[in-house]
Amino acid sequence: MSLDMSAAKTPASPEKASLKDARAEHARLGAEIAKHDIAYHQNDAPTVSDADYDALRRRFDALEKEFPALADLPSPARGVGSAPAQKFAKIRHVVPMLSLGNVFDADEVQEFVERVRRFLGLGAEASVDITAEPKIDGLSCSIRYEKGELVHAVTRGDGFEGEDVTANVKTISEIPRKLHGDAPAVLEVRGEVYMTHADFTALNKRQEAEGGKVFANPRNAAAGSLRQLDSSITAKRPLHFFAYAWGEITGGMPASTQRGMVEAFAKFGLPTNPRMTLCRGAGDMIAFFDKLGEDRARLGYDIDGVVYKVNDLAYQDRLGFVSRAPRWAVAHKFPAEQATTLLLGIEIQVGRTGALTPVAKLEPVTVGGVVVSNATLHNEDEIARKDIRVGDAVVVQRAGDVIPQIVRVIVEKREGDPPKYAFPDVCPKCGSAAIREIDEKTGEADVVRRCTGGLICPAQAVERLRHFCSRNALDIEGLGDKQIEFFHEKGLIKTPADIFTLEARDKERVAKIENFEGFGKVSTRNLFAAIEARREVELNRFIFALGIRRIGETNARRLARHFGEFAALRACARAAGDPASEARAEINNISGVGDVVAEAVADFFVEDHNERELDRLLEQVTPTPMESVATDSPVAGKTVVFTGALERMTREEAKAQAERLGAKVAGSVSKKTDILVAGPGAGSKLTKAQDAGVRVMSEDEWLAMIAGT
C-alpha cells in the first residue's frame, strides 16, 4: 500500500513530528524491535531490559496512532514471529463460516433470482438488486477487530471452528492492525487470503532453488503460507486479502446493503475487490459473468467464478440459510476452459525417484486467456486409453490447477493411420532400462515406468546421493542434504564414488572447498575425516546405500547374510538377469525375499551403467562382513532348510537363530543346501534332500549342534 505523501505537506504542530520524520523513526524503531524480538523469542537471549523494550514498543505504537498510514506499512517489528508453536490453537466462530450453493448456467442464474423473489413475495415489477463480484480462489479467513484493533484471525476450518493464524495474518502488510475511522466496537471481517500469479511464480522459483516444496497452484501456495507454524516464514511470503463478508458485529452496522458494507470495509482501510458491481437482474448478472470471464487471465490472481449476493441486508435476513449455505447468495462457477490444438510431440521427463512422466508438447494455444504449450499426460496407460498419437488434434482443458490436461483426441481430424505412441523403455536421461514393476498384491504392472539407472541417472542423482550418505546407509557426517545439493550443483559430487575422491580432487583445485561460504578450514577437515572413516562399511549398509528398488534395510541384511560378501551377490545378481536362471532362483529362495525383490535386484545389476559405477565405488570403499553374523559357528556359511513341524520353537525363531549364527536359510532344497532340519510331517523336501545326499537332521540334533555357540 502506498503512502499518501500529500499529508507530509500539511504543517505539523511543533511538538508533532512531520510524517516524513515519523516514517524514518518508524522504520528505525521497527528494525530495532525486530532485532530484539529475534534475540528474545528465537535465540532465548534478550538484548535489552524489558523496560527498555516496552519503551521502544510504546513509542512505535504512538507513532502509528499519530500517523495511521504508518500502521499499514510493512515493518519487521510485525514480521518476526515467535518460535514455532507445536500446532495452531483452535478458535470457535461466533457466527459460523458457511459455504455457497452453485449455479452453472444462465438458466440457473435466472432461477436463483426467481427463487429470491418468490421467497420474499415480490411482484414481477419489483426489482431485486444483486451484487456480483469475483469468486477468489484462495482460502477464507475471519479477522476480528475490537475497538478497531486486530485481536485475532482464524481460518475457516470446518466452518464452526478454525485455526488461530493471528501471528501470520499480522505479517500481511495490506491487512491493517488498526482500522481507520469509526469502526464498530466488534467487527469480524471475512474474506479471502490469496497469492498473485507473479508472486506465485517467483515463490516457486525460489522454493525450487532452495530445494523446498514447489506448489501446484497459487491457492495451495497461499494456504501453505498462511498455515505456517513459524510466522517468520509467512512474513516472507507475499499474501493478499480481499474483504467480502462479515461475522459478528456489535455497536451498529456500518451500512444496510451488501455494497455499502464492502464500501465501509474499504473506508476502514481493508482491501476490497474493485470489480464488485450492482446488478439489476439476471441479465446484468450474466453480462458481469461473461465480461469477468474475458478478463480473467489479466486479473493477476486466480478466480473460479462469480459470487452473487442479494444487496439489501434486510432481505438477506429474511432469506436466511438453508442447510449450510445462505439463500441470499450463490456461486456461479466458470466452466473448465477448453481449446483445440495439435500435439506436436511427447516429451518424457524423469523425476527425482526415477519415474518417467510423459508431457504433451502442444502447438501453443490460448486457453482462457493463458497460452498453453505443455499438458500433462499422466502415464503411459492414459496415453493408450485415450489413444493419443503424435500429430493428433486434441482438446486441452485448464481446470483448477495450473497444469492443463488433454481431454480427448479429435479422431475425425486424424489423417491416415499414424503409429500408436510407443512409450520408451529406456530412460531418456541416462539410457538405462525403464521398467514397470509388478505390484506384489495385485500382480498387475505399476502405472509408472521407472528408470533403473539409480546410481548414474542425473535426474535421480541428488536423491540417490542423499540416500547413500544417510544415517542407516554410509552415515557420512557433515554430508547432509544441503551439502550434497551444494556439491552436486558445483559439479563436485555427481555419483557416490565422487564423494571419496573429493579430497584428492580438492588438493588439485585452485578454488578450495574451505574457501566456499559456510565451510572454512575446520569443517572441511572434519568432512574429509568423516568420509575417510567410511571407506570400510558393513556389507548390509553398503547394499542398502545403493538405493536398489525394494532393498530396504531388512532386505539388504538378508542379501548380506546370504552372500557374505559383495562379490558373491554381484556375480549372482548379474546372472539373475534371466528370470529362468538358477541365479534368479537362488535370490528368490532367500528367506523373506520373493519374486519382486529378486527381479529388482537383477534389474539393478544387469544395468551396465550401474556396474561401472560400482567398479568405481569399490575402488574407494570396502564392504566388510556384517557385524552381527557369527563366522565361527559350526553352521556359519552353511545353507539350511527347515521342513516339517518344529516342536521346540517356531519356524521364524529357528530361522532368526540360524541366521544369527551365520547360516543362510533357504526356502527350498537345492544343490547348495547343506543341512535339512526335518520335523514330523516332512514331505517332499525330505525325499529331495535324501536323494541329493544332503545331510538331514532332527530338530534336537540341530539344537545339539548349535548348543554352546
DSSP secondary structure letter of residue 388: -
- Interface residue list for ligand IVH (CB under 6 A): 98-100, 133, 135-136, 140, 156, 192, 244-245, 307, 326, 329, 331
Q: Grid coordinates representing 72?
A: 499499514
In whole angstroms, what is the distance from residue 113 CA to residue 106 CA?
Answer: 11
CA dihedral 654, 658, 659, 661 (to 10 degrees): 140
β-strand pairing of 622-624 with 536-538: parallel
In whole angstroms, what is the distance from residue 568 CA to residue 583 CA?
Answer: 11
Alpha-carbon torsion (444, 446, 449, 453), positive or negative? negative
SS3 276: coil
For residue 218, count other CB atoms closer than 10 A to its CB: 23
**CA-to-CA separations, 331 to 96, 563, 564, 598, in angstroms, rounded:** 18, 66, 67, 55
Secondary structure of 503-524 as H, E, C letters: HHHHHHCCCCHHHCCCCHHHHH
What residue type is 462 in one-letter code?
V
Alpha helices, DSSP H, located in 432-581 = 461-469, 481-489, 496-508, 520-532, 539-545, 553-563, 566-575
Nearest to residue 259, comparing CAs of 307, 308, 311?
311
Q: Looking at beta carbons only, is 12 or 253 nearer to ligand IVH?
A: 253
The residue with its CB nearest to ligand IVH is 140
Indicate the length of the chain as a whole number.
709
Q: Looking at beta carbons only, is 34 or 285 nearer to ligand IVH?
A: 285
Helix (H) or strand (E) holding 219, with range, is: helix 218-226
Q: Looking at beta carbons only, is 307 or 430 nearer to ligand IVH?
A: 307
Q: Grid coordinates representing 410?
A: 479429435
β-strand pairing of 325-326 with 321-322: antiparallel
Q: How far is the CB of 99 from ligand IVH (least distance, A)?
A: 4
Q: Grid coordinates representing 146?
A: 475490537
Alpha-carbon torsion (657, 660, 661, 663), positive or negative? positive
Q: How far is the CB of 98 from ligand IVH (least distance, A)?
A: 5
Q: Looking at beta carbons only, is 244 or 642 nearer to ligand IVH?
A: 244
What residue type is 473 in one-letter code?
A
In whole angstroms, what is the distance from residue 259 CA to residue 5 CA?
Answer: 29
Nearest to residue 134, comparing CAs of 272, 38, 8, 26?
272
In whole angstroms, what is the distance from residue 264 CA to residue 244 CA?
Answer: 11
Radius of gyration of the chain (CA): 34
Q: Are 700 and 658 in contact (CB under 8 A)?
A: no
Nearest to residue 666, comparing CAs of 587, 552, 604?
587
Q: How far is the CB of 271 from ligand IVH (least distance, A)?
A: 12
Q: Is 135 tagged catalytic?
A: yes
Q: How far is the CB of 144 from ligand IVH (least distance, A)?
A: 16
Nearest to residue 335, comparing CAs of 407, 401, 408, 400?
400
Q: Are 348 and 357 in contact (CB under 8 A)?
A: yes
Q: Among residues 20, 90, 135, 671, which one is catalytic?
A: 135
**CA-to-CA separations, 53 to 29, 57, 68, 82, 126, in angstroms, rounded:** 11, 6, 22, 15, 62
In whole angstroms, what is the distance from residue 14 CA to residue 16 CA?
Answer: 5
Q: Looking at beta carbons only, is 81 or 305 nearer to ligand IVH?
A: 305
In whole angstroms, what is the distance from residue 238 CA to residue 86 CA?
Answer: 24
DSSP secondary structure letter of residue 551: -
Nearest to residue 116, comparing CAs of 107, 127, 105, 106?
127
In whole angstroms, what is the distance from residue 236 CA to residue 194 CA?
Answer: 14
In whole angstroms, what is the distance from residue 311 CA to residue 299 CA?
Answer: 24
Q: Are 393 and 410 in contact (CB under 8 A)?
A: yes
Active-site positions read 135
